[in-house]
Structures are given as structure tokens and as C-alpha cells.
Amino acid sequence: MKFEAYNVDKTVVRNKLAEAGIRCEIEGYSHSIRNHLKIIHDCSITGNRTFELISPILNGEDEFTELMTVCNVIKPMQNQSKQSLSTNRRKTRQ
């Protein structure tokens, strides 16, 4: 799963996720698959402070439960003025 964002401070997102018990790292751009959430710069969208929040491959119920926690953490940030978070399902190679 991928969340795209602009006008949202990625450090705040990382810290809020950590408070909720979700491991998230701010990393440089790469296509590497991690076992944790990662935040990378996103130049495909316009705005200030753009980034993607990318989940690891979700395989089981625990991962989807964690994803729901992530959604609950970031949803209030979306409702703040001039900020946006959107989601996309990532395609994975088989």
C-alpha cells in the first residue's frame, strides 16, 4: 500500500506512527522492499513537503490490522487545511 502526501511533515508522520507502535523509517528513494513502513521523497506530485509512505508487502491479518492503525493515525492529518494524503495499492512482481 502506498500513501502519497503533500504539505505534511514526514517527521511528524513517522513520530505519530511510532507513538502508535508502528515502525517507520525515513529513507532515500529506492525500490527496495522493507519489512517496515518507509517514507521516501515523491516528486510525482506537486506541492511542498511531498512524500510517499510505503508499506511492506501485506500477507496476513496482522499486517492488515497494522495498516488500519496507520490509516487511523494519518487520517486526522488529512483533515487539516491544505494538506492531502491519498492511498494507492502497490503492484508487486511475482
The string of pLDDT tens digits covering residues 39-70 is 988 778 777 888 888 888 877 788 888 888 98
pTM, to two decimals:
0.76
Query: How many Å from the N-terminal Cα to the C-terminal Cα in the chain?
Result: 16
Instruction: Please name the helix (run of DSSP H) or strand (run of DSSP E) that holds residue 67, with its range, or none.
Output: helix 61-78
Residue 53 lies in a domain: yes
Instruction: Please name the helix (run of DSSP H) or strand (run of DSSP E) that holds residue 16, with its range, or none.
Output: helix 10-19
User: pLDDT-derived band of residue 83, with 50, 70 and 90 as boundaries?
Assistant: very low
Residue 94 lies in a domain: no
Residues in the chain: 94
* Full domain range(s) for residue 12: 2-88
Count how many domains the chain has: 1
What is the Cα–Cα distance from 38 to 51, expressed in whole angstroms? Answer: 10
Residue 74 lies in a domain: yes
